[in-house]
């Protein structure tokens, strides 16, 4: 029982559980944004928000092309919403926070002969064995 307790109280297990819960909550927010705001906006412009009635019949089988188009549009709109309203602002915030930090010291250098990346302390290239200055 002691090992299980240690496993459950490790940081990465707890962080993963929190991430899953936050992801589920965020999914609801993004889905509501797309369903309640973006889809009606497209309906106002295009005049038809639902394509589920579109179907093609082949040898008596009904291919629901409209359902696929609806799912594809929902995916594209959700991806665009996540990108423009989450990824871009977080990247901008991260870049703003890192502004003014010194760049880390390089750990590799290029070999003048074969242009491979070698360790900064290397005296000979691991790829072409030429001596490095």
| pLDDT (tens digit per residue) in 36-47 | 777 777 777 777
Angle at CA 101, nearest 5°, toward 95 and 103?
A: 100
Q: In this structure, are 33 and 93 located in the same domain?
A: yes
**Do 9 and 72 reside in the same domain of the chain?**
yes
Domains held by the chain: number: 2
Mean pLDDT (the chain, rounded): 83
The answer on 44 and 85 residing in a single domain is yes
Q: How far apart are CA 63 and CA 65, in angstroms?
A: 6
Shared-domain flag, residues 110 and 52: no
Q: Please give the model's pTM, rounded to 2 decimal places.
A: 0.51
Higher-pLDDT residue of 119 and 5 is: 119
Q: Judge if 76 and 121 occupy the same domain.
A: no
- Burial (CB < 10 A; 0-12, 13-18, 19+), residue 42, is middle
Residue 37 sits in which domain range? 2-101
- Residue 107: closest CA among 121, 128, 93: 121
| Degrees to nearest 5, angle at CA 45 with 41 and 51 | 80
Contacting residues for 6 by C-beta, under 8 A, at least 6 apart: none
Give 50-96 pLDDT, tens digit per residue.
Answer: 677 778 899 999 998 877 877 888 788 878 888 888 889 988 988 88
- Residue 118 pLDDT greater than 90, yes or no: yes
Query: Is residue 72 located within the same domain as residue 83?
Result: yes
CATH of the domain at 91: 1.10.1200.120
**Element (DSSP H or E) covering residue 110:** strand 108-110
pLDDT for 49 beyond 70: no
Nearest in space to 53 (alpha carbons), one of 40, 42, 68: 68
């Amino acid at each position: 029982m002691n090992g299980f307790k240690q496993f459950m109280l490790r940081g990465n297990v707890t962080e993963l559980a929190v991430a899953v819960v936050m992801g589920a909550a965020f999914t609801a927010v993004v889905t509501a944004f797309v369903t309640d705001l973006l889809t009606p906006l497209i309906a106002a412009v295009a005049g038809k928000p639902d394509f589920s009635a579109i179907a093609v019949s082949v040898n008596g089988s009904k291919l629901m092309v409209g359902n696929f188009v609806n799912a594809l549009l929902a995916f594209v709109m959700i991806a665009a919403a996540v990108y423009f309203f989450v990824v871009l602002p977080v990247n901008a915030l991260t870049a703003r926070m890192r502004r003014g930090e010194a760049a880390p010291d390089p750990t590799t250098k290029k070999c003048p002969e074969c242009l491979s990346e070698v360790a900064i302390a290397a005296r000979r290239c691991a790829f072409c064995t030429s001596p490095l200055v």
